[in-house]
């Protein structure tokens, strides 16, 4: 029998939930086709088929859906509403299946399971079950596939968390020693920690963020991301705010930013996309919090479909120069910590 082919657009929340769906569907014997990483073609497709007022990540999601359209039987677009108490997804993500359906008329069938853990029919298990029943009638197999893939999903999530050594200032201490030994002060390569916070789909999509992560790596920077911060710490950090944040996807970014501020990393870069509603508010909150930590440099990069690489390069270099110079100054003149 021919396998059912299910397409997963590699954008938005799938940066977080793709491993779960992939494993579940493969275990049930479906063929999972992941769209290619974002490229010029996908962006163009997305921009052409969506309204101009829609935010960049959603436009790119459109592009991924269109690029999958003629390769698969079904396209998976879960309606993500709520995965934890007191927090929702952004309105555009909740309405995403309907938006895609009404903008693109030529699509194959969409799979739209509801994920809303407040409701008994919307739990992860039920929503995966709905999709599983399309592939096989054997509910025992579905059940087993669910529990295994759920377990692995949790395990992998923990595996990606922060290695505590990364935040250790020992690297810096070594450099200070070198300085004391009389090495050339100006050429010492000071290892600095830069936290890149923002939605997963901005931090991890190297096409949208114009290879920012690679660029930072080349500049000998130790990169920290929100996914490295354990959920427990995020929760604790968010208590600092006057009012809890009610967007699931932003919670991680804000909690991580506050955590990195508190641990005095050298710099924090907040990635936002043009027209993103969450980021406009959350950016202001992070900015406000950053003022309490004057020793941490903070900047915000906004991306849209017209962002030029040269502009970002200049800003990034200027930001790093500033951070480095500050560090150098501390090593040369300030008493070491």
Partner 1 sequence: MKLTLPRLGNIEVAYETIITDMGHELIEPPPNSKRTLDLGVRYSPEYCCLPLKIVLGNFIEGLELGAEVLLMAGGWGPCRFGYYAQVQRDILIDLGYNFKMLIMELPRGNWKTLWDNINILRNGKKWSYFANQFGLAWQKILLTEKLENKILQVRPREKKKGITSRVFADTIVKIKKAKDREALKQIEREALQQFDEITDFKKKNLIRVALVGEFYVSLEPFVNHHLEEKLGYLGVEVVRKNSIRAWVEPIVNLHLFRENIKDEKEIEQAAYHYLAHSVGGEGQSTVGNVVLAHQEGLDGAIQVIPFTCMPEIVAETILKKVSEDLDFPTLTLTYDEQTGEEGLNTRIEAFIDLLKMRRRKGVMVS
Say whether residue 95 binds partner 1 (CB under 8 A): yes
# binding residues, partner 1 (CB under 8 A): 42
CA distance 205 to 18: 14
CA distance 155 to 151: 6
CA distance 114 to 124: 9
Q: Among residues 285 and 322, whose Cβ is nearest to partner 1?
A: 285
* Shortest distance (Å) from residue 242 CB to partner 1: 5
Say whether residue 283 binds partner 1 (CB under 8 A): yes
53 CB neighbour count, 10 Å cutoff: 6
CA distance 265 to 238: 18
Joined together, the tokens standing for residue 332 give 């040369």
Binding span for partner 1 by CB under 8 A among 34-42, 195-203, 271-279, 313-321: 271-279
Closest CA to 129 of 63, 232, 186, 138: 138
* Shortest distance (Å) from residue 97 CB to partner 1: 8
Burial class (CB in 10 A: 0-12, 13-18, 19+), 59: buried
Say whether residue 81 binds partner 1 (CB under 8 A): yes
Say whether residue 107 binds partner 1 (CB under 8 A): no
Closest CA to 30 of 1, 59, 56, 51: 1
Q: Among residues 138 and 292, whose Cβ is nearest to partner 1?
A: 292
* Shortest distance (Å) from residue 333 CB to partner 1: 31
Say whether residue 247 binds partner 1 (CB under 8 A): yes
Say whether residue 239 binds partner 1 (CB under 8 A): no
User: Where on the chain is the footprint of partner 1 (CB under 8 A)?
Assistant: 50-51, 53-54, 79, 81, 86-92, 94-95, 97-99, 101-103, 114, 241-247, 274-281, 283-285, 288, 291
């Amino acid at each position: 029998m021919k396998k059912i082919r299910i397409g997963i657009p590699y954008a938005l929340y799938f940066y977080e939930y793709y491993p779960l769906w992939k494993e579940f569907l493969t275990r049930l014997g479906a063929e999972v086709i992941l769209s290619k990483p974002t490229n010029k073609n996908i962006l163009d497709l997305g921009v052409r088929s969506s309204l101009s007022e829609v935010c960049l990540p959603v436009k790119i999601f459109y592009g991924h859906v269109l690029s999958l359209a003629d390769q698969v039987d079904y396209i998976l677009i879960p309606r993500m509403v709520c995965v934890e108490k007191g927090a929702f997804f952004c309105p555009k993500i909740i309405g995403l299946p309907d938006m895609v359906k009404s903008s693109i008329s030529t699509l194959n069938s969409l799979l739209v399971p509801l994920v809303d853990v407040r409701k008994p029919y919307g739990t992860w298990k039920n929503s995966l079950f709905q999709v599983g029943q399309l592939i096989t009638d054997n509910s025992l197999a579905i059940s087993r596939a669910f529990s295994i893939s759920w377990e692995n999903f949790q395990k992998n999530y923990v595996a990606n968390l922060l290695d505590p050594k990364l935040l250790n200032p020992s690297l810096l201490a070594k450099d200070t020693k070198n300085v004391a030994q009389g090495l050339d002060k100006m050429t010492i390569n000071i290892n600095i920690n830069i936290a890149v916070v923002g939605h997963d789909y901005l931090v991890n999509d190297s096409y949208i963020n114009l290879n920012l992560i690679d660029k930072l790596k080349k500049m000998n920077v130790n990169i920290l991301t929100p996914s490295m911060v354990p959920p427990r710490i995020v929760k604790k950090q968010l208590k600092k705010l006057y009012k809890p944040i009610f967007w699931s996807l932003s919670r991680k970014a804000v909690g991580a930013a506050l955590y990195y501020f508190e641990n005095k990393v050298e710099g924090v870069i907040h990635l936002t996309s043009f027209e993103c509603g969450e980021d406009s508010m959350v950016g202001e909150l992070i900015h406000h919090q950053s003022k309490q930590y004057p020793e941490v440099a903070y900047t915000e990069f906004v991306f849209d479909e017209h962002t030029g690489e040269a502009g970002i390069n200049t800003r990034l270099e200027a930001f790093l120069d500033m951070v480095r110079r500050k560090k150098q100054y501390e090593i040369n003149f300030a008493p070491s910590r």
